[in-house]
Every structure is written in structure tokens, then in C-alpha cells.
């Protein structure tokens, strides 16, 4: 019996991996331009970090974590998201003692035990940024502009940024009371989840996808109706800054993030996806999270995006986007002596950074040429017995179907020249 990969995981094979590398490259480039530095934290952490940092009432912590005891009887968890780890690292390494704000990005696998379905994986990949130690609306605007610019560069179509303010504990307490008053008469009709939320976290009811809940919450007071002067000013300034940066956005008062430590700005980026719109990035401000994991009071804001979802959206926006790298030159040899000569050429070219390849299976001349074609090599460089005697290489242009002869002494320089011209 052969062993199969675990459910909800994937092998990223050549042919697909190039698209990942291209996305990663775009991410690294834009982060460098915006002045965000990479952080890599462990893939597993003490379970308590996520219980405190993600929230014990969330589905992630309640149902979806890969938690186990290690051989030392410590409870550890494969990270289900990145923010809690970044905040932990910020505190543990005392990054707050250096230059502020700290602007970080991360990229890597996350783990959630979800029911596998199309586009959802138990091991998935996220890119995210976190800015710690700055509370001004210009930080929120910078973070949103970064993801907007990234998606625009990638060529995603139908982009829309949705923003909201969920307020602070002061104004949220007012909202909570007003919302409960509004919903109380129809409380029994809410879905089961929302009945739970009614006492614990009524704001989340605004975000419920259940049609009955959506109908009941029509006209319900939103957090925007109850913002305190400080939160209101922050939101106003954010909108002005986004306009100044040329980011088109929509205010969406139903966009909420439910945890206690979320503050003020919440946002999502939506993309047109086969007729419907779907969110491919979510983020917001979390002014209390660093304290939650044992650090000093620190404002923070960030976002995370699922890389699988972005790649799927790109597939829809740019179906012809073929990034597979083609071979430049494949050496084709007939006979042992010719093979050695070819291997010398290949080795020298590779040392100079020119992609070159050679048959590794001892195939016939005809089969080697066929392989060069299949690999869509730009050139085939052929050396047989006759060429060995005359000390020349036949250089065949596989695109144009033309060929020339080059003396051994000139072949390397000529290929380097041709490669440079095509870059
Ligand atoms: Zn407020
Ligand atoms: Zn509901």
C-alpha cells in the first residue's frame, strides 16, 4: 500500500511552484520598497499563546487547532495564524526597545483542522504584515495601500477595499447596549450561533451570513453610529489618507472583527471572482494584543492573506499568465568523448550563471534532440564524432529552426552573449 499525503495538504510541484515563487517575489519586492522587514517565527508555539492571542471563544481555538502534547508533556500547537506569534516575538526579543514603529512581514504555512473543501487546506500559506508601536491613522493607510499596490501589480481585477471602524472599548460598550436593545424583541429568531453571540459578542451578529440574521439586523445600529470623538476622528483621517493615496474604498459598517482587542480600523480587500466577490485579505488594528501576550501596552495593525486564494484569483484574472521558465541551452552529445566535452561546456556556462543542461540518461541523439524540443530549450548545442574531430559545436536555434557552427574556442562566449541579449 502506498502512503498518501494527509488530507487537506498539497504537494506543490514544478509547473505550479513557479507561480508561488513569482508571488513571493512580488511580496518581497513590495515589502522592501515599503520598508517592511521579514520575521520568521516557529511553526509551533505553546498552545497558551493562541488561547490568549487568538481568543478562546473563536472557532480557530475551539475547533481547528492542531494541538498535541510533545514528549515532555508540553501542550504545543501548530500555528493557525501569524499575528500572535509576531506579537510574542516582539515581546520576547524586546523589539519595543528599538526604533518604533516595528514594521514586519511574514510568509509561511499555517495549520487549521477544517473540513477540506475546494480551495481550503489544513496546511495553507499566509502572507501578512504587522506594524507595532504606532497608532496614527497614517499607519492604517500605509498598510492598506501596501496590499492594494501588491494586488494591482499582480494584475488582479475588480479590486475593492472595504473599511470600517469597530471603535474602542468606550464606544463599543455604548454600541453593545444599543444593539442588544434593538435585537432583543427578535432574539429568539436569530440563528443558534447568534443566540450565543447575543450576550458574549453581539457585534458579530452584524457579520452573520445567515439570511434570517441579515434580515433581522436590517437597520440595526452599527459601530459607526456610536463612535467616540477619538475613534471618529481616526476613521475620518484614514478615509482622507486613502483618498490621498489613490486607493478606492467603500465604507462597510457590517465589516466587524469580533475579538475584544480589536480597535478602530477593520478592513478587507475583495476581488471579482467568477461573478461573485470574495475577500482575499483581511486586517485591522489590535491595540491590545501585545498586552494580551504579556508585553507593554502597544498599538498594532496588520493584515493576513491566504496565498492559495490569491493564486486562485490570479488564475481567474490572468489565465494566460504562464511563468514556467524555459531552458536556455541543452547540450546534445553523441559518444563518450563528446559527452565529456559537453559536460565541460555545461559546467563552465553554469558557473557564469547561464542556465544549461545535458542528458543524464545516456539517451540516443534523436531522443536527446526530442527532449530539448520538449523542454522548449532556446538552443540545442550538438557535438558528435565529426564535430569532435573538427573541434566545433553545432548551435541550433530551436525557435527559428536555423543552425550555425561555432569553433570550440568561441562557443562559450557566443552563448553568454546570446543569453545576455535575451534577458
Ligand atoms: Zn472610541
Ligand atoms: Zn446568525
- Torsion (CA) 83, 88, 89, 91 in degrees, nearest 10: 130
Q: What is the pLDDT of residue 325?
A: 58
pLDDT at 1: 85
Cα 179 to ligand 1 centroid, rounded to whole Å = 16
pLDDT for position 274: 60
Ligand nearest to C-alpha 235:
1
Averaged over 277-289, what is the pLDDT? 89
The pLDDT tens digits of the residues spanning 361-373 come to 989 999 999 999 8
Q: How many Å lie between the centroid of ligand 1 and the Cα of residue 40?
A: 34
Ligand nearest to the CA of 197: 2
Write the burial class of residue 172 (CB in 10 Å: 0-12 exposed, 13-18 middle, 19+ buried): buried
Ligand closest in space to the Cα of 216: 2
Phi-psi region of 35 (alpha: psi -120 to 50; beta: other; left: phi over 0): left
Q: Which residues contact 325 (CB under 8 A, 6 or more apart)?
A: 18, 355
Task: Check residue 223 and give its pLDDT.
Answer: 93
> For residue 149, how far is its CA from the centre of ligand 1 (angstroms)?
29
> Three-state secondary structure along 92-106?
HCCHHHCCCCEEEEE
Nearest ligand by distance to the CA of 183:
2
- What percentage of the chain carries pLDDT values higher than 90? 76
Query: Which residues are placed with Cβ below 5 angstroms of ligand 1, an ion?
Result: 167-168, 170-171, 228, 231
pLDDT above 70 covers a percentage of the chain that reads 96
**Integer Cα distance of 51 and 48 in angstroms:** 5
pTM, two decimals, is: 0.88
Question: What band does 275 get if pLDDT is binned at 50, 70 and 90?
Answer: low
409 — pLDDT class (breaks 50, 70, 90): very high
Where are the alpha helices (H) located in 1-136, listed in sequence order?
17-34, 47-53, 59, 83-92
Per the prediction, the chain carries an average pLDDT of: 92
Enclosing H/E stretch for 193: helix 192-200
As a whole number, mean pLDDT of residues 198-223 equals: 89
- Tell whether the model's pLDDT for residue 320 goes beyond 60: no
Task: Give residue 172 CA to ligand 1 midpoint distance, Å.
Answer: 7
Ligand nearest 287 Cα, by number?
Answer: 1
Mean pLDDT in residue range 408-420 = 95
CA of 261 to the centre of ligand 2 (A): 22
The answer to whether residue 302 scores a pLDDT higher than 70 is yes
User: Is 350 a residue whose pLDDT tops 90?
Assistant: yes
- For the CA of 174, the nearest ligand: 1
How far, in Å, is the centroid of ligand 1 from the Cα of 110?
33
pLDDT in tens, 220-272: 999 999 999 999 999 999 999 999 999 999 999 989 876 667 899 999 999 98
Average pLDDT over residues 176-184: 93
Give residue 202 CA to ligand 2 midpoint distance, Å: 10
**Structure-block grid coordinates of residue 326:** 524555459
Q: How far is the CA of 174 from the centre of ligand 1 (A)?
A: 10
> What are residue 27's phi and psi, to 5 degrees?
-65, -50
For residue 130, how far is its CA from the centre of ligand 2 (angstroms)? 30
Strand, coil or helix: what is 320? coil
Q: Which ligand is nearest to the CA of 195?
A: 2
Q: Please answer whether residues 330 and 371 qualify as being in contact, where contact means their C-beta atoms are separated by less than 8 angstroms.
A: yes
Q: Is residue 233 within 8 Å of 252, Cβ to Cβ?
A: no
Separation of CA 223 and ligand 1 centre (Å): 9
Between vectors from CA 290 to CA 284 and to CA 295, what angle results, nearest 5°?
165
The answer to whether the CB of 96 falls within 8 A of the CB of 130 is no
Beta bridge partners of 331: 358, 381
Nearest ligand, CA of residue 262?
1
Band (pLDDT 50/70/90 cuts) for residue 77 is: very high
Report the separation in Å between the CA atom of 271 and the middle of ligand 2, taken as the mean of its atom positions.
Answer: 25
| Residues 255, 268 contacting (CB under 8 angstroms) | yes
What distance in angstroms lies between residue 197's CA and the mean position of ligand 2's atoms? 9
Ligand number with the minimum distance to the CA of 193: 2
The per-residue pLDDT for 55 is 79
What DSSP letter does each residue of 265-296 carry, written as one string? EEEEEEEEETTEEEEEEEEEE-TTHHHHTT--
Residue 194 Cα, ligand 2 centroid: separation in angstroms?
4
pLDDT in tens, 19-74: 999 999 999 999 999 999 999 999 999 999 999 888 777 788 888 999 999 999 99
Give the ligand at the shortest distance from the Cα of 205.
2
Does residue 212 carry a pLDDT above 70? yes
Q: How far is CA 370 from the centre of its chain?
A: 38
Q: How high is the pLDDT of residue 318?
A: 65
pLDDT of residue 154: 93
Is the model more confident about 201 or about 66? 66
Using the mean position of ligand 1's atoms as its centre, give its distance from the Cα of residue 164 in Å. 13
Amino acid at each position: 500500500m502506498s502512503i498518501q499525503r494527509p488530507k487537506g495538504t498539497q504537494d506543490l510541484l514544478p509547473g505550479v511552484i513557479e507561480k508561488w515563487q513569482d508571488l513571493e517575489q512580488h511580496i518581497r519586492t513590495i515589502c522592501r520598497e515599503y520598508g517592511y522587514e521579514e520575521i520568521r517565527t516557529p511553526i509551533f508555539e505553546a498552545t497558551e499563546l493562541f488561547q490568549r492571542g487568538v481568543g478562546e471563544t473563536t472557532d480557530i481555538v475551539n475547533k481547528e487547532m492542531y494541538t498535541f502534547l510533545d514528549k515532555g508533556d508540553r501542550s504545543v500547537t501548530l500555528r493557525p495564524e501569524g499575528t500572535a506569534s509576531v506579537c510574542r516575538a516582539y515581546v520576547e526579543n524586546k523589539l519595543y526597545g528599538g526604533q518604533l514603529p516595528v514594521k514586519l512581514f511574514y510568509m509561511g504555512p499555517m495549520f487549521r483542522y477544517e473540513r477540506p473543501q475546494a480551495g481550503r487546506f489544513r496546511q495553507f500559506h499566509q502572507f501578512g504584515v504587522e506594524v507595532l508601536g504606532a497608532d496614527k491613522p497614517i499607519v492604517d493607510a500605509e498598510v492598506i495601500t501596501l496590499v492594494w499596490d501588491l494586488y494591482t501589480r499582480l494584475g488582479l481585477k475588480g479590486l475593492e477595499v472595504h473599511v470600517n471602524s469597530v471603535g474602542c472599548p468606550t464606544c463599543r460598550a455604548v454600541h453593545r447596549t444599543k444593539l442588544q436593545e434593538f435585537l432583543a424583541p427578535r432574539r429568539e429568531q436569530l440563528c443558534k450561533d447568534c443566540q450565543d453571540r447575543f450576550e458574549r459578542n453581539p457585534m458579530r451578529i452584524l457579520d452573520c451570513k445567515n439570511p434570517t440574521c441579515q434580515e433581522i439586523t436590517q437597520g440595526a445600529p452599527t459601530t459607526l453610529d456610536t463612535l467616540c470623538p477619538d475613534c471618529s476622528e481616526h476613521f475620518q483621517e484614514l478615509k482622507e489618507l486613502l483618498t490621498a493615496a489613490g486607493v478606492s474604498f467603500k465604507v462597510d459598517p457590517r465589516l466587524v472583527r469580533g475579538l475584544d482587542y480589536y480597535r478602530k480600523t477593520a478592513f478587507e480587500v475583495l476581488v471579482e471572482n467568477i461573478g461573485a466577490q470574495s475577500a482575499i485579505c483581511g486586517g485591522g488594528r489590535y491595540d491590545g494584543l501585545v498586552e494580551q501576550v504579556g508585553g507593554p501596552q502597544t498599538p498594532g495593525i496588520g493584515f493576513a492573506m491566504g496565498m492559495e486564494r490569491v493564486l486562485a484569483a490570479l488564475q481567474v484574472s490572468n489565465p494566460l499568465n504562464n511563468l514556467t521558465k524555459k531552458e536556455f541551452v541543452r547540450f546534445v552529445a553523441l559518444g563518450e568523448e563528446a559527452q565529456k566535452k559537453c559536460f565541460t561546456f555545461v559546467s563552465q556556462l553554469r558557473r557564469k550563471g547561464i542556465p544549461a543542461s545535458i542528458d543524464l540518461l545516456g539517451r540516443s541523439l534523436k531522443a536527446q534532440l526530442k527532449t530539448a524540443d520538449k523542454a522548449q530549450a532556446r538552443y540545442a548545442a550538438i557535438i558528435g564524432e565529426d564535430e569532435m574531430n573538427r573541434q566545433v559545436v553545432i548551435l541550433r536555434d530551436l525557435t527559428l529552426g536555423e543552425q550555425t557552427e561555432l569553433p570550440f574556442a568561441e562557443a562559450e562566449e557566443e552563448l553568454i552573449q546570446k543569453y545576455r541579449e535575451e534577458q
